[in-house]
Amino acid sequence: MPDPKPEPQPRRAGPPHNPGLRKLIEGKRKWHRPERTLPLPPEGGVPSASGTLASAGSNTGTPTSHASSGTPPSGGSPFLGWHERGYLPHFDAPYVTQFVTFMLHDAFPVTGRREWEGILNESDDSQRRRKVEAWLDRGHGECWLRRADVASLVEEKLRESDGETCRLQDWAVMPNHLHLVVDVWATPL
């Protein structure tokens, strides 16, 4: 009598299990130097154009490094250092410049999964990024950001924190995604 087929396991919720990504993050944590020791701006303070801090107060501190653990120390900095959420490596630290891409929920439609799934499995990081960008630039989905009123609202919201918690260097609003280059200060994105 043949063995009965095992019951299929339900797909677990959340990001996929990716041991290769976890190994990459662990390696980055090992070689990465701790964040530069820069004074944190006091409450309401922001870095000046010269990179020094401009503030009315005198409370300064030193950010603690937690890049080796990947989690913020209890009661310490809210920055995560090198970490992952199952898909891509992330680096989160104060006083760094970040390139961020926001995609609308339908920018990678399930109906096109056969086409874009191969892109995500591309082994060369540079090639994968180029292919993802090319896919996004094809304008899949409803492309709400193509509407001037919606794009203006997004830009207005971006500008609200410019100079308060971060410095916007540049951004591009595309029909179904947004690119942002931002100098992160003492508040995580």
Distances (CA, A) of 99 to 43, 96, 102, 120, 177: 26, 10, 10, 19, 13
**Nearest Cα to 186, choosing from 82, 28, 64, 86?**
64
29 and 21 Cβ atoms separated by less than 8 Å? no
135 contacts 116 by C-beta, under 8 angstroms: yes
Structure-block tokens of residue 9: 């396991």
Q: Enumerate residue ranges in the chain where pLDDT < 50.
A: 36-42, 44-45, 48-75
**Cα-based distances in Å from 102 to 45, 136, 180:** 28, 11, 8
Q: Return the pLDDT at 63.
A: 34
Residue 169: its pLDDT value, please? Answer: 93
Partnered with residue 84 across adjacent β-strands are: 89
Taking only the tens place, the pLDDT of each residue in 27-36 is 777 777 655 4
What is the SS3 assignment for 45? coil
- According to the model, what pLDDT value does residue 125 have? 80
Strands of the chain, DSSP E: 46-47, 53-54, 81-84, 89-92, 96-103, 166-173, 177-184
pLDDT, residue 84, reads: 79
- The pTM (predicted TM-score) of the whole model is 0.59
Positions of E strands within 76-162: 81-84, 89-92, 96-103
Cβ neighbourhood burial of 21 (10 Å; 0-12, 13-18, 19+): middle
pLDDT in tens, 115-151: 888 888 888 888 888 888 888 888 889 999 999 999 9
